[in-house]
Amino acid sequence: MADAKQIVRRLIEEPWTGNMHVIDELIGPGYIGFDPSAPEPIRGPAGAKTQIQQYIDGFPDGRITVDDQIAEGDKVASRWTARGTQTGEVAGIAPTGKGVTVSGITISRLDNGMVVEEWTTWDTLGMLVQLGAVPAPTQA
């Protein structure tokens, strides 16, 4: 069986390089994912594809790099950085052409070589600030 860290790394990085098939390959049918930007839990490979695709549409040149990983038992924690230029609509924000860099942490639970559960926390506010969607606070 492939190394758990490698499975999770491929799942985080490869959809952004054009390989959406990696989701069917490595996400279990009963998958459930939690992401602060999704109002409801993300369910199954189809739900994961929809969740990722909305950001790929907003940042077509985007890339995610896994910076660090820790594995224990059936879980892998990954710290990652996403970079991209917003040339598509994202979160209701019209394209700005601005470059954005955000970081996040994903904890993935694996079963039989597939990811079946994920908890992601990422810098959603940072993305909105960088895109100019959060009003600039006045300085004291």
Residues of this chain that bind another protein (CB under 8 A): 83, 85, 87, 89, 92-102, 123, 125-126, 129-134, 136-137, 139
In the complex, what is the shortest distance from the CB of residue 95 to another protein, in angstroms, rounded to a whole number? 7
CB of 140 vs another protein, minimal distance in Å: 9
Q: Which is nearer to another protein, 39 or 92 (by Cβ)?
A: 92
Name the pairing type of β-strands 75-85 and 99-111.
antiparallel
Q: Which is nearer to another protein, 1 or 140 (CB)?
A: 140
Residue 2, CB half-sphere, CA atoms under 13 Å: how many? 13
Closest distance of CB 124 from another protein, Å: 11
Q: Find the length of the chain.
A: 140
Closer to another protein by Cβ: residue 18 or 97 = 97
Nearest of 117, 105, 107, 108 to residue 28 by alpha carbon: 117
SS (HEC) of 71-83: EECCEEEEEEEEE
**Which residue number, 70 or 134, has a Cβ lying nearer to another protein?**
134
- Least Å distance, CB 90 to another protein, is 9
Q: Give the nearer residue to another protein in terms of CB position, either 112 or 139.
A: 139
Q: Please state, in angstroms and rounded to a whole number, the distance separating the CA atoms of residues 137 and 38.
A: 26
Q: Which residues lie below 8 Å from residue 44, measured CB to CB, with a gap of 6+?
A: 27, 29, 30, 31
Q: How far is the CB of 21 from another protein (least distance, A)?
A: 29
